């Protein structure tokens, strides 16, 4: 866990605005594509309603996640450590970042999930693989531990992630429409690709009453400030506050929770593809002193071999702000850094004075 010093706490209190007005996009409205472009330019973040993801998919997965995170730590740790997928507790990455969080991170590749869990669960993993094959789907499953046996949840994750993926594709195609670029699947095709390096994460921020008593809950970091390296992130959480985003002026604003809506983050890769027109939003999560927060995040990433560079159709005579790189190169570089580092810095072009 990370606890700020008193000066940092005072700065945090002064620089944070509670419940600001953030971009609200109604996906059913005809002008939503232009509003999405504006939100990505000004905030790199927006709230989405009328998204089309069935409520039962959301509530069922939340219920399954609560069951998993309610298990004894010794049982949950059998699905860890994160290498690169699995269960993690407090440690975030391999570079010393920690937070008041536990999580399970999965790829959307069934085979990769199987290889991860087969080493842990042996015969039970074969049943897991059989269930995947029987489901005839290419989305993912979560493994739960009950009575020291591995049991996969009924298709709660599959249903949820399939619906969220579809929504992400639609958003990216609306972005292309709003930017007036062709083909309209220039972004979405990277997520639809069979080799797409996308991931799904469940974060649980348990309450910490003793810290709440000591600091009024103002300076307990659940997940430290960072940007997401991928193209787009789709976030949904329960009705507990904690998410904050940084504005362009450096001030932090708290995002009111809404368990029925989704929040969309622009990632580093999309910032590069738009040559900096869109803003990769810096964000963090403050843990709650008395209530448990649960969030679900789909990270839409391109194939590892995909070259990331500004789209020529958006340049209009401008110079590229970034060197061309593959997603593999950027991912490798990003995951060697600390959370708060400027991950794009090493790929920016230095303009001679």
When pLDDT is averaged across residues 34-55 and rounded to a whole number, the result is 96
Name the most confidently modeled range: 96-100, 155-159, 271-275.
271-275
Q: How far apart are CA 30 and CA 277, in angstroms?
A: 23
DSSP assignment, residue 107?
Answer: E
This prediction has a pTM of 0.84
Whether the Cβ atoms of residue 146 and residue 35 lie closer than 8 Å to each other: no
Name the most confidently modeled range: 6-10, 65-69, 185-189, 347-351.
185-189
Confidence of residue 129 (pLDDT cuts 50, 70, 90): very low
Catalytic residue list: 293
Instruction: Spell out the alpha helix ranges (H) of the chain.
Output: 6-15, 32-42, 55-69, 73-76, 110-121, 123-135, 156-179, 188-192, 209-215, 268-273, 312-315, 327-334
């Amino acid at each position: 866990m990370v606890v700020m010093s008193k000066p940092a706490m005072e700065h945090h209190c002064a620089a944070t605005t509670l419940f600001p007005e953030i971009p609200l996009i109604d996906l059913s409205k005809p002008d939503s594509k232009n509003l999405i472009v504006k939100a990505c330019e000004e905030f790199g973040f927006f709230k989405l309603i009328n998204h089309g993801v069935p409520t039962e998919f959301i509530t069922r997965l939340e219920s399954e996640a609560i069951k998993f995170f309610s298990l004894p730590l010794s049982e949950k740790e059998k699905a860890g450590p994160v290498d690169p997928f699995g269960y993690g507790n407090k440690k975030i990455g391999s570079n010393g970042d920690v937070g008041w969080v536990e999580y399970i991170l999965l790829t959307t590749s069934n085979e990769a999930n199987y290889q991860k869990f087969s080493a842990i669960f042996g015969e039970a993993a074969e049943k897991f693989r059989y269930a995947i094959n029987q489901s005839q789907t290419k989305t993912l499953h979560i493994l739960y531990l009950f009575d020291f046996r591995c049991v996969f949840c009924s298709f709660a994750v599959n249903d949820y992630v399939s619906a969220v993926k579809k929504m992400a594709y639609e958003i990216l195609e609306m972005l292309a429409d709003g930017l007036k670029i062709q083909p309209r699947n220039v972004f979405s095709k990277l997520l639809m690709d069979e080799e797409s390096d996308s991931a799904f994460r469940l974060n649980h921020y348990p309450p910490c009453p003793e810290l709440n008593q000591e600091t009024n809950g103002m300076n307990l970091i659940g997940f430290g400030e960072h940007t997401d390296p991928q193209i787009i992130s789709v976030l949904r959480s329960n009705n507990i506050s904690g998410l904050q985003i940084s504005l362009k002026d450096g001030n932090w604003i708290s995002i009111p929770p809404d368990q029925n809506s989704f929040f969309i983050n622009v990632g580093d890769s999309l910032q590069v593809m738009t040559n900096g027109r869109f803003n990769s939003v810096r964000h963090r999560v403050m843990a709650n002193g008395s209530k448990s927060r649960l969030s679900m995040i789909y990270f839409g990433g391109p194939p590892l071999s995909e070259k990331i560079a500004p789209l020529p159709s958006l340049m209009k005579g401008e110079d590229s702000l970034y060197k061309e790189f593959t997603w593999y190169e950027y991912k490798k570089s990003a995951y060697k850094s600390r959370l708060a580092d400027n991950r794009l810095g090493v790929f920016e072009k230095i303009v001679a004075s």
